Chains A and B, each alone.
Chain A
Amino acid sequence: MHKISVKINGNAYEEEVESRLLLVHFLRDKVNLKGTHVGCDTGNCGACTVFLNGKPIKSCNMLAVQADGAELTTIEGLERDGALHPVQEAFLDKFAIQCGYCTPGMVLSALALLQSNRRPNEEEIREAIEGNICMCTGYQQIVDAVAHAADLMGQSRS
């Protein structure tokens, strides 16, 4: 067992973890943050995407013990004062959700893109979410939502 300290969505946690515990199960089963999902088990689908020190990673492809000392952000950490993040608003505006299972990972991948590229074109958006599989939407409304989120975030900046 290893003792790890992590900050998740601004809150500090200290837990004893088994060597083999995957980060995604740490988040879901130990910290009770159920918004991070498991979809494929092989690092292909991106449903388990979270931010590790500000960058999106796949939490099913990482051990919890590797995250010792890191700052993590999950989908539950995006709201501010009860208000949805513009990316979350945009997903609702553009019907970018269907079953919702890929949504947390998609939202985080979209946000990662928009943090480094304020005006992504369609190709850049598609590349930014190529590590996230959505079985329902065919992606188009998600792509539209990300473009729309760029607009919303631009407005909130100005």
Chain B
Amino acid sequence: MIPPKFEYVAPASLSEAAAFLAAHPGDAKLLAGGQSLIPVLKLRLASPGFLVDLGRIAGLSYIREEPASGGKPGAVAIGAMTTYAEIKQSALLREKCPLLQQTVAVVADVQVRNRGTLGGSLAHADPSADMPAAILALGGELKAVGPKGERWIAVGEYFQGMFATALAPDEVLTEIRVPVLTGQRSAYLKAARRATDFALVGVAVRLRVGKDEKCEEISIALTGVTDRAFRAAGVERALQGKRLEPKLIEQATADVVQGVNVMGNIHGGAEYRAQVARVYAARAIAAAK
């Protein structure tokens, strides 16, 4: 299986990349780690005229702490071209935002994690990918750079559907900022037929429990269930301010897919995914607390 013909371009700067996208509307595709895009090309499911490689642009791969300033809370900033492997090994993330590491640990396999990038996954927005759930549970924002400059997109507004995001066609996702999870606990639980598969259901949870053992803050996001990752707001509300007793968790998560258009495929039908979503949401909350 061979990709169709395209021209490879390797801009040296973001502005150059954005300008190229703007000059070739609909005919240029960004290449990050390529772990999803290259198989798609080989299967000839897409045939862009140009691949714009972000790999030659300096300064897109980093993990650094952004202290609180100007009313913004402290965050960890991750360059879009940071690989899963780099996230997995980051001492900073281990301390400040373990949920990302808990998630990348179950993404694909070693080789894919060495090439695949956080930005690539989020821009691709596969409805069964793991990272969107983690990012959604974390909150935070994403930086997009376009011909007119940069803008920040709130995570909650970013995922817009199957393989669809809030990025404009001429924008490049460059950075992901996630909050520092001091005093919080987290878990990512993935149901899959095999270890390296996309999620049948993936559940990311972060929560803070107070001294009285009541849940002071909780954020739950799921992937694999519908056309995009989503927050389980109803479940969060049901648990907020309560003690996370098993019975309550079970009751709350029973409604995790309420109002969600659950989608199925050959790996798991809608009904099955709905059930696994309920079970895994409960288990993920239990694992986090």
Contact = CB atoms under 8 A, between A and B. Distances in A.
Do chains A and B directly touch (beta carbons under 8 Å) in the complex? yes
Interface of A: 2, 19-20, 22, 41-44, 46, 49, 52, 55-58, 60-63, 65-66, 109, 112-113, 127-128, 130-132
Contacts of A109: 110-111
A46 B111 contact: yes
A55 B35 CA distance: 15
Contacts of A127: 110, 195
A57 B6 contact: no
B42 A19 contact: no
Contacts of B264: none
A43 B1 contact: no
Contact of B42 (A41, A55, A65, A131): A41
A43 B39 contact: yes
A142 B85 CA distance: 24
A131 B196 contact: yes
B212 interface: no
A63 B2 contact: no
A103 B287 CA distance: 38
A43 B110 contact: no
Contacts of B41: 20
B45 to A, nearest CB: 11
B34 interface: yes
Q: Considering residues B1, B3, B8, B31, which has the most beta carbons from chain A within 10 angstroms of its beta carbon?
A: B8
A131 B110 contact: yes
A56 B110 contact: yes
A56 B111 contact: yes
Interface of B: 1-8, 10, 31, 34-35, 38-39, 41-43, 51, 53, 55, 85, 108-112, 114-115, 195-196
Contact of A62 (B2, B10, B34, B196): B34
A19 B112 CA distance: 21
Q: Considering residues B8, B108, B111, B196, which has the most beta carbons from chain A within 10 angstroms of its beta carbon?
A: B111
Nearest to A48: B111
Contacts of A132: 109
A8 to B, nearest CB: 18
Contacts of A62: 34, 38, 115
A128 B110 contact: yes
B42 A66 contact: no
Given A130-B195, A131-B108, A61 B6 contact: no
A61 B8 contact: no
Contacts of B109: 46, 130-132
A130 B115 CA distance: 16
B8 A58 contact: no
